[in-house]
């Protein structure tokens, strides 16, 4: 396997893996399909309110699913309200999405919020609680007091700092986050550490970023588009935090993404005959806070690119999906990678390439949209990053590929299985969902 074996010697491991896994609730009662997908246009959306933007994605999904609002039993919603500077936005948009009088649950887990909402919606159907659930996540950075949701990010950071002070915690454990320059700074450490252990060069990051811009140019919902972009084009952009150039950085986008889940029984009742995307396996694991250099428990994170949480999430999702060899059985992936080194790092952690070897696959064109294993044919998070929407967008894009609805960025091969990955929090949360063109059978 591409992912390495997890043992108690790795950072963050304080109990054997078998004990970790004892906390997982493995109840797959019903097969669940994604029967509809929707997205808003992503970018700087000053032309619409947050409610109108969310409604764009929701009504597109309802139309795609060929159902009426009355068919929806419940709603799973989520964003990081601090990033947009608006508290409890779901309280004002229920009328816009026909959710009035129906069960609504909200989730907030940082960058993974879209993945967490996707998981919540799935489990509400798989558990037998509801037959049809709409899951939507979003972010509108332009509503923040400052461009790029700087104020919102500071709210999150200072809340954490205040909590640590009240608990009497050692403030040195916040030093890495404070000195690093927020997400870009921490990611620069991560990129450098990946280079040190893999032999990767900055030029490989240029190649990944250029691929993201080219792919995004084919995606009508993407933000940063650059037809024909090359690695040389990216290399000409200024260095901002070594080893990251300006051309490596994701944008602060506004946008919403939505999926509609239905039980297998509901799919039959609705007489759905078109292709749908079945959820075959999923998992979410929270590692320790990998951006602080030292966790609250006192264990040290010395390699920000290690991401044990992603390894474990992938292992459990594949186990539940019946996937034995992810590189051979998965056809494409949408990875949560705001910066290009993260596409390389996570593609290894998800088991697609051997540890420290993903950059070789990039050199060989393996991950291109027409390559043997396409990664982020949509342009990915590096081209479009409405934080609350981003992980859900990975699920949407994988579903579209399986359904054959990705239009200009549809990969030119049959997609039977795809992986959607989410990542966030203080770099410790990971979500993994395996989608397929047929339901998993016992």
Q: b/e string for 164-180 if b means 16 or more Cβ within 10 A?
A: beeeeeeeebbebbeeb
**Spatial CA neighbour of 401 closest among 389, 416, 380, 382:** 416
pLDDT band of residue 172 (cuts 50, 70, 90) is low
Q: Which residues contact 95 (CB under 8 A, 6 or more apart)?
A: none
Sign of CA dihedral 323, 328, 331, 333: positive
Read off the pLDDT of residues 17-71 as tens digits, 9 standing for 90 and up. 333 333 334 444 799 999 999 999 999 999 999 999 999 999 999 999 999 999 9
28 vs 31: CA distance, rounded Å:
7
Which CATH fold topology does 17-146+252-436 show? Answer: Peroxisomal Thiolase; Chain A, domain 1 (3.40.47)
Read off the pLDDT of residues 372-429 as tens digits, 9 standing for 90 and up. 999 999 999 999 999 999 999 999 999 999 999 999 999 999 999 999 999 987 777 8
Residue 285 or 11, more confident: 285
Say how many C-beta atoms besides its own lie within 10 A of residue 19's C-beta.
Answer: 10
Domain extents for the chain?
A: 17-146+252-436
Read off the pLDDT of residues 189-206 as tens digits, 9 standing for 90 and up. 889 999 999 999 999 999
Cis amide linkage into residue 243, ω under 30° from 0: yes
**Spatial CA neighbour of 243 closest among 287, 211, 209:** 209
User: pTM (2 decimals)?
Assistant: 0.88
């Amino acid at each position: 396997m591409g992912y390495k074996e997890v043992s108690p010697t790795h950072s963050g491991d304080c109990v054997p893996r078998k004990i970790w896994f004892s906390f997982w609730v493995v109840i797959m009662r019903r097969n669940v399909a994604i029967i509809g997908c929707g997205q808003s246009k992503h970018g700087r959306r000053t032309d619409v309110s947050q409610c109108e933007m969310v409604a764009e994605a929701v009504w597109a999904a309802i139309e795609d699913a060929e159902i009426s609002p009355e068919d929806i039993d419940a709603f799973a919603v989520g964003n990081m309200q601090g990033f947009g500077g608006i508290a409890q936005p779901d309280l004002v948009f229920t009328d816009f999405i026909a959710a009035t009088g129906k069960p609504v649950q909200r989730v907030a887990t940082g960058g993974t919020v879209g993945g967490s909402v996707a998981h919540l919606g799935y489990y509400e159907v798989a558990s037998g609680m509801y037959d049809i659930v709409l899951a939507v996540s979003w972010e509108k950075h332009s509503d923040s007091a400052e461009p790029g949701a700087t104020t919102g990010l500071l709210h999150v950071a200072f809340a954490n700092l205040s909590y640590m002070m009240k608990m009497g915690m050692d403030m040195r454990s916040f030093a890495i986050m404070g000195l690093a320059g927020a997400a870009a700074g921490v990611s620069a450490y991560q990129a450098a550490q990946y280079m040190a252990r893999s032999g990767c060069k900055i030029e490989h990051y240029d190649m990944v970023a250029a691929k993201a811009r080219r792919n995004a140019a084919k995606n009508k919902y993407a933000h940063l588009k650059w037809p024909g972009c090359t690695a040389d084009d990216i290399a000409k952009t200024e260095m901002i935090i070594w080893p990251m150039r300006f051309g490596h950085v994701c944008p602060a986008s506004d946008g919403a993404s939505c999926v509609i889940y239905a039980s297998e029984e509901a799919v039959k009742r609705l007489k759905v005959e078109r292709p749908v995307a079945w959820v075959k396996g999923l998992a979410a694991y929270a590692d320790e806070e990998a951006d602080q250099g030292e966790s609250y428990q006192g264990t040290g994170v010395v390699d920000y690119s290690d991401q044990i949480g992603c390894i474990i999430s992938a292992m459990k999702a594949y186990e539940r999906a019946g996937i034995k060899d992810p590189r051979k059985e998965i056809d494409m992936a949408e990875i949560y990678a705001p910066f290009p080194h993260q596409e390389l790092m996570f593609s290894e952690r998800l088991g697609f390439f051997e540890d420290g070897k993903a950059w070789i696959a990039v050199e060989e064109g393996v991950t291109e949209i027409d390559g043997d294993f396409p990664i982020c044919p949509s342009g990915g998070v590096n081209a479009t990053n409405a934080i609350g929407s981003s992980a859900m967008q990975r699920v949407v894009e994988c579903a579209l590929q399986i359904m054959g609805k990705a239009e200009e960025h549809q990969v030119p091969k049959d997609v039977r299985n795809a992986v959607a990955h989410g990542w966030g929090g203080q770099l410790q949360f990971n979500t993994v969902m395996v989608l397929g063109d047929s339901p998993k059978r016992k």
